Amino acid sequence: MAVTAVWGGTFVVVKDAVSQAPTMDFLAMRFLIATAALAALRPSRVTTLSRAGVKRGILLGMALGVAYIAQTFGLEHTSASLSGFITGMLVVFTPVIAGLVLRQRIGKVTWTAVAIAVAGLGLMTVHEFAVGPGELLTLVCAVFLALHIVGLGVWSPGHDAHALTVVQLAVAACICFAFGWWDGIDLPSDGGFWLALVGTAVIATAAAYVIQTWAQARLSLPQAAVVLTLEPVFACIFGVVFDHDELTTRIVIGGALVVGAMYLAELRSGSR
């Protein structure tokens, strides 16, 4: 829950930061700092990861890198609160992807939740029968984050959380540098920008993903997904309070449908 609050707050921080620097440059440095911080903190742990763990970390890092690239570019064209709600769709995509990849049966409740979430998403994002590029990119982010959650839920047990996180973040950093290095890394010298960069790198990336990797080895996919439904709620609160996002009736109703669909997709009859 603490991690979802941090991630919810980063939508506003990142939106402001990428207005001062190229998106890929910001992401490359964010993941590089996060990787360096974790590797320096416990360097011996990284060498204990098995070959299978390294391969799985690479795949997880690829999904994470694509997700963050899509989300950060999307934030340039949509509000922080709306980006948070669309990113929250990952909780609906998670059981669908788990069903397809892990051969788990997808029940009627899940499909109903998907339909409700799509309706809510459409109410929030469709303006005069057109969905903007920011919303589409953020939806791509949600799909890849769902892939990351499913992979993490299956692969994190049996592997050291710290070492597995270092590999994931290192791969994400390499992907971002590959796309951003060709024209050079250009970052402003403004103190506020660097505070945002280091803060998102150390707290919202390094620490947060160690906690998520550790937690998902101990929680089921539905349990983890239900907790993550709080992220778009925090994103909306921070966006309205600090970034002056407009809170329209369409956003409120659509957001309520999305959050309701998230819970419907994860909760089962008879469960606590």
pTM of the model: 0.81
pLDDT tens digit sequence for 168-178 = 999 999 999 98
- pLDDT of residue 1 exceeding 80, the answer is yes
Cα–Cα nearest to 93, from 37, 55, 140, 41: 140
At 174 the pLDDT is: 94
- State the average pLDDT for the chain: 85
Question: Using one digit for the tens of pLDDT, what is the confidence trace for 74-127?
Answer: 988 888 778 877 887 887 888 888 888 887 777 788 778 878 887 887 787 666
Looking at this protein, which amino acid is placed at residue 195? L
User: What DSSP designation does 204 have?
Assistant: I
Task: List phi, psi (to 5°) of 105.
Answer: -70, 135
**189-244, pLDDT tens digit by residue?**
888 899 999 999 999 999 999 998 888 888 777 667 767 777 877 888 888 888 77
